Amino acid sequence: MNAEVQKEESMVLQKKMIGEHFETLSKAGESGRKVVYTFVPGNLNELILAFDLLPVHPEVNALQSGMRKLSGDYIQEAEKQGHSEDVCTYVKCDIGMLKKGNIGPTGEKLPPPDLLLLSYTGCFTFMKWFELLKQEYGCPVVMLQVPYQAEGKITASQREFVARQLRDVVVPALEQVSGKKLDEDRLKELLASSARAEDDLVYVWESAKHKPSPIDAYFGGVYYIGPIFTAFRGLPSCEAYYRELRREVDYRIAHGMGPTTPEGELRQQKYRIVVEGPPNWTSFRDFWKIFHDEGVVMVASTYTKVGGLYEQGFRHDPARPFETLAEYCLGCYTNRNLPARVDIIAKYVEEYEADGILFNSIKSCNSFSAGQLMMLRELEKRTGKAGAFIESDLVDPRYFSAANIKNRLESYFQMLEAKRQAA
């Protein structure tokens, strides 16, 4: 089997999964299946699937619109409706898409939600977002309150608080929408499947400890998280995807190969970088190319953990369904405090033997960006590695200045080079 075919297999699988999911969604009206909109961080996919409901993730739609260069129009549409320039552009992109016919990433129409399942993990914008969608769709909202990990760890009372809400509020709401009673065995089955896929995903992340790294844990990583953070976690297709991905990674390790990028395989790995912050989606390819051209491989990233920090040991545990779901929500990256985030990144730098740390500060996402410069300073002190700070946006093309970002990144890489030569 050659490398090209290998590369494509997991991609093909993922594409197929997504295609089928959106097709099912587009037929939800005819099939009578009920639809739940929810967020990626702290999503309760297994629970949603246990009720045979169909999940939709507005954030994912927004980022897809960004990648397909549609977000600019959507954002302007939302601004016409009165949304300010500074609002999270995922929200505006979603609202704009809705106003323009709610056509999803595969070109098919998205069904309206029967329920807005709001798991509040670390971002206040989530609440406002669903408040707006509630107005548009007039459907019920159920809210799962997830306390912020202020002390940097999950306490027993926090776990209990979330688990109780799941039993007393979320499950009844899901039962009502679906018209079904919760089947706990089905839920456990789904959770067990999740855990198996999670094992493989962690294997993939940790493969970046190899030199050369067989993966790019940021640009490539955003593809790797597709199935597990969205509609598929808990399903056999998800497990199959990660099995295949793991196989591909093994192949690359065995052959001393670097990750596959749109520009071809990254052979010369000059710098190993850890990244904090979401990528820019509207110029994703160009953004990636800058790194590829400089021989930079991203060995770890925090953004790819927004939907779960599995490599820190967490696995969905079928033996304690509600507690495990509670821990999952509480453990999300965005739900951690700044010192905990610094710890995570510092650990990445050390374990993945990184040369530097890059922060992409997102203009319209205060949730991620607040305190980032402080984190960077702290990390520089702690790890002795140089940090770079760039600013862009998620899906607003107006907030991406290619020349400015290129200038900063080139300077940064040349700075790493100069440091290396001086050492």
Question: Which residues bind to ligand SF4, rule: CB under 6 A?
Answer: 88, 90, 123, 125-126, 334, 365, 367-368, 394
Residue 35, beta-bridge partner list: 54
Q: Which is nearer to ligand SF4, 126 or 328 (CB)?
A: 126
Bond into 172 cis (ω within 30): no
Helix (H, G, I), strand (E, B) or coil at 105: coil
Q: Which is nearer to ligand SF4, 51 or 368 (CB)?
A: 368
Instruction: Please report whether residue 422 would count as binding another protein according to CB under 8 A.
Output: yes
Task: Give the CA angle between residues 200, 233, 284 to the nearest 5°.
Answer: 80
Instruction: Please report whether residue 277 would count as binding another protein according to CB under 8 A.
Output: no
Binding segment for another protein (CB under 8 A), chosen from 18-26, 266-274, 316-324, 400-408, is: 400-408
Instruction: Please report whether residue 410 would count as binding another protein according to CB under 8 A.
Output: yes
58-75 as b/e: b if 16+ CB within 10 A: bbbbbbbbbbeebbbebb
Q: Which is nearer to another protein, 250 or 380 (CB)?
A: 380
Cα gap 36→247, rounded to integer Å:
33
Instruction: Please report whether residue 418 would count as binding another protein according to CB under 8 A.
Output: yes
By a kind-dependent CB cut-off of 5 to 8 A, residue 387 interacts, out of another protein, ligand SF4, none, with another protein
Q: How far is the CB of 33 from another protein (least distance, A)?
A: 44
Q: Which is nearer to another protein, 13 or 388 (CB)?
A: 388
Alpha helices, H only, 27-155: 28-31, 45-50, 58-67, 71-80, 89-99, 125-137
Instruction: Please report whether residue 414 would count as binding another protein according to CB under 8 A.
Output: yes
Please report, for residues 17, 213, 224, 267, 310, the alpha-carbon distance to residue 205 in angstroms, rounded to integers and kept in the order given. 22, 10, 9, 19, 10
Cα gap 109→232, rounded to integer Å:
20
- Which residues from 190-209 bind another protein, rule CB under 8 A? none
Q: Which of 5, 127, 150, 373 binds another protein (CB under 8 A)?
A: 373
Instruction: Please report whether residue 74 would count as binding another protein according to CB under 8 A.
Output: no
Binding segment for another protein (CB under 8 A), chosen from 168-176, 268-276, 307-315, 381-389, is: 381-389
Binding segment for another protein (CB under 8 A), chosen from 80-88, 116-124, 161-169, 372-380, is: 372-380
Cα gap 104→180, rounded to integer Å:
28
Q: Which is nearer to ligand SF4, 26 or 125 (CB)?
A: 125
Query: Cβ distance 230 to 44 under 8 Å?
Result: no
Cα gap 271→412, rounded to integer Å:
11
Q: How far is the CB of 284 from another protein (least distance, A)?
A: 17
Please report, for residues 76, 92, 96, 390, 399, the alpha-carbon distance to residue 80 in angstroms, rounded to integers and kept in the order given. 6, 10, 9, 29, 18
Q: Which of 137, 251, 284, 389 binds another protein (CB under 8 A)?
A: 389
Here the tokens at position 275 are 């990244």
Q: How far is the CB of 87 from ligand SF4 (least distance, A)?
A: 9
Q: How far is the CB of 399 from another protein (least distance, A)?
A: 7
By a kind-dependent CB cut-off of 5 to 8 A, residue 414 interacts, out of another protein, ligand SF4, none, with another protein
Q: Starting at the edge strand that comes first in sequence, how are the strands of the sheet with 54-56 ordered?
A: 54-56, 35-38, 115-120, 141-145
Instruction: Please report whether residue 419 would count as binding another protein according to CB under 8 A.
Output: yes
Q: How far is the CB of 78 from another protein (least distance, A)?
A: 21
Cα gap 330→158, rounded to integer Å:
8
Binding segment for another protein (CB under 8 A), chosen from 5-13, 61-69, 279-287, 403-411, is: 403-411
Q: Which is nearer to ligand SF4, 162 or 394 (CB)?
A: 394
Q: Which is nearer to another protein, 312 or 407 (CB)?
A: 407
- Of 386, 215, 207, 354, residue with least CA distance to 274: 354
- Burial class, 106, CB count within 10 angstroms (exposed 0-12 / middle 13-18 / buried 19+): middle
Residues 6+ apart with CB under 8 A from 347: none
Binding segment for another protein (CB under 8 A), chosen from 54-62, 156-164, 217-225, 415-423, is: 415-423
Q: How far is the CB of 296 from another protein (least distance, A)?
A: 15
Here the tokens at position 296 are 């930079």
Q: Which residues bind another protein (CB under 8 A)?
A: 373, 377, 380, 386-387, 389, 391, 399-401, 404, 407-408, 410-411, 414-415, 418-419, 422
